[in-house]
Structure 1
């Protein structure tokens, strides 16, 4: 669960960053381009006015699409294509008195913001190749740039792309390291140090909030309360180290026996809670019985002497995200009934 939460948190941060860049390009850049396009429309420069006004309009339509659908990935891809198209069209046309090259420098940074390091490197490389062809085969374009102007501009643009790529690469790397550090701290706080199973804090801090947020992933949620039989006697007879060794072996048995989607937690000295997502009561009994039988048939070498350990199990099923606490309490009552009925059984 913690892995999912950490990934979700990182994705939310990245989504916010891309949303701000998308809004900046659409609203700020779109408005600036619009303000430059209107005078050209009034002066009769239809080609340049159409390029500027059309770009401004498509920027605004893209951000409107995002606000309507919430699809940040597609909106950023559309915006990136529009930026590239605008850059190449502006270089081809030349802009007002061949000043187009002054407006090109922001585009590498914008692509990195919209697409991420890998996709932006590919996109920027392709755009650089297209620009090189346009600038160094001047007969192919409408604009007329001076040779010394094009060479210096292109060299500066390459440096800009490299610098922006290095900056975003290490920004992403730093972000991933911080996310991994946060995940490690959360795992340590939510993990029982002896058995390496999730602890009570995991249930309160991770499982229950996740159940409330996405109940369809869990419900019906099988709940199994497990308690090792006569554990105090084992501790008194063989010592606490032997008891700790048994707990670790029981945890290892849980990991081997339970299904991949199931979660076993240590909630007390010899008490465990097992959660079985999307499992009805009949199957909860089957899983619990499988664990009980496996444990009862396992030989624990304690101080060189073979020893068998059994456990009692109480079962219940949670059908609503608001019923988890009540379901755990009922499973605990069932556990008491299992012990009262003679232990080493599933109720």
Structure 2
């Protein structure tokens, strides 16, 4: 996992759940309240000389409740939001066409437009509102073809006030999104710093516990079987004692670059201690993980640390274990750690499973 991938995972952990929850709760509230109001309005218009309005309101009510039920069945789908925007488009133009009760339908356009703006995402909402109002304007300027009749002064004032309302609503939404992006950017940078090892730029133990393992638990099908490899640089203390800690830091960076070359883009290399690393292989069996660990071991052995007049051979020991499900993740991490000690006791520079 490169630095940008780490940022993407942190970003998703920070914003996806909160934003998805906000949009979902907004959809639920508007659907239940709006559907109930439309049902009441349909009932109040029963017996009037406007059966088209009653039928349209009834259809809108049914579709609204069906749409919110669909969103409960498929909570991660965005389709329900776009269906909600289409329901608003249909309802607004029915109100314009029929005039509503005693030609008062235009008064309900404002809240419905606002619903369309906040339910649909910002950029698609601009298209939705444009199409909605475009159809309404065509009808208002061709009243001989619709059931309702509006005085010219009402039409002009309605369009002017609606245009002002749309501009203010979109400006408000835009500033809200911009300020939210700035806050997310600042929070993301703080999260990066807290979850990244400053020397190697690798994810640290905090990232694994607070972000990666949480994601794995929430979506086990994507991550399991999850193989873990604990890596420890052999005789690292000798390097620090012989060349100093500055060279030791360069060796850690050298080892980091070597390991990153040996793993897949979906894998995670994290620094969990002084000279200890944890490599995680999502959707990898024990056999696959052992092969990848052996590849890392061989690359590290084949690439000595060279700097100035220093040419120091580097080796590392590896302990491998695999969690088949999320229930035995922590047990597998402990098993990998135990296997590392077996590798070191067996002579180092080897992979133990």
Greater displacement, 113-122 / 209-218: 209-218
Contact 1:21 1:110 in 2 (8 A): no
Q: Which of 221, 238, 242 is the matching residue for 1:237?
A: 242
Greater displacement, 165-174 / 21-30: 21-30
Q: Which of 169, 175, 180 is the matching residue for 1:175?
A: 180
Name the CA distance, whole Å, in 2 between partners of 1:89 and 1:161: 19
Going from structure 1 to structure 2, the CA distance change for 1:57 and 1:309 (only over 3 Å counts) comes to closer
Greater displacement, 6-15 / 193-202: 6-15
Q: Which of 31, 36, 56 is the matching residue for 1:26?
A: 31
Secondary structure of 2:351's aligned partner: coil
Are 1:63 and 2:68 matched, yes or no?
yes
Name the CA distance, whole Å, in 2 between partners of 1:71 and 1:272: 35
Are 1:84 and 2:89 matched, yes or no?
yes
Contact 2:252 2:275 in 1 (8 A): yes
Contact 1:225 1:332 in 2 (8 A): yes
Greater displacement, 31-40 / 201-210: 31-40
Deviation at 1:303, TM superposition (A): 4.5
Name the CA distance, whole Å, in 2 between partners of 1:27 and 1:333: 55
Going from structure 1 to structure 2, the CA distance change for 1:243 and 1:4 (only over 3 Å counts) comes to closer
Secondary structure of 1:105's aligned partner: helix
Deviations 1:265-296 (A, max 9, x none): 21211111111222222222221121111111
Going from structure 1 to structure 2, the CA distance change for 1:6 and 1:43 (only over 3 Å counts) comes to same
Deviation at 1:160, TM superposition (A): 1.4
Residue number in structure 1 paired with 2:219: 214
Name the CA distance, whole Å, in 2 between partners of 1:5 and 1:104: 40
Residue number in structure 1 paired with 2:142: 137
Secondary structure of 1:269's aligned partner: coil
TM-score norm. by structure 1 comes to: 0.90
Name the CA distance, whole Å, in 2 between partners of 1:61 and 1:216: 29
Going from structure 1 to structure 2, the CA distance change for 1:11 and 1:341 (only over 3 Å counts) comes to closer
Residue number in structure 2 paired with 1:223: 228
Residue number in structure 2 paired with 1:95: 100
Name the CA distance, whole Å, in 2 between partners of 1:155 and 1:41: 32
Please list, as runs of the form range in 1=range in 2, the aligned pairs for 1:1-347 lying within 5 A after superposition: 3-4=8-9, 6-7=11-12, 9-70=14-75, 73-347=78-352
User: Aligned residues, how many?
Assistant: 347
Deviation at 1:56, TM superposition (A): 3.4
Going from structure 1 to structure 2, the CA distance change for 1:258 and 1:106 (only over 3 Å counts) comes to same
Deviation at 1:88, TM superposition (A): 0.8
Secondary structure of 1:272's aligned partner: strand
Secondary structure of 1:41's aligned partner: coil
Deviations 1:127-186 (A, max 9, x none): 221122111222222222111211111111112112211221222222233233333222
Q: CA RMSD in A?
A: 2.3
Ranges of 4+ aligned residues in structure 1 off by more than 6 Å? none
Name the CA distance, whole Å, in 1 between partners of 2:255 and 2:232: 11
Secondary structure of 1:104's aligned partner: helix
Contact 1:281 1:317 in 2 (8 A): yes
Secondary structure of 2:78's aligned partner: helix
Going from structure 1 to structure 2, the CA distance change for 1:9 and 1:303 (only over 3 Å counts) comes to closer
TM-score norm. by structure 2 comes to: 0.89
Going from structure 1 to structure 2, the CA distance change for 1:77 and 1:332 (only over 3 Å counts) comes to closer
Q: Which runs of 5+ in 2 are unaligned?
A: 1-5
Q: Which runs of 5+ in 1 are unaligned?
A: none
Deviation at 1:236, TM superposition (A): 0.8
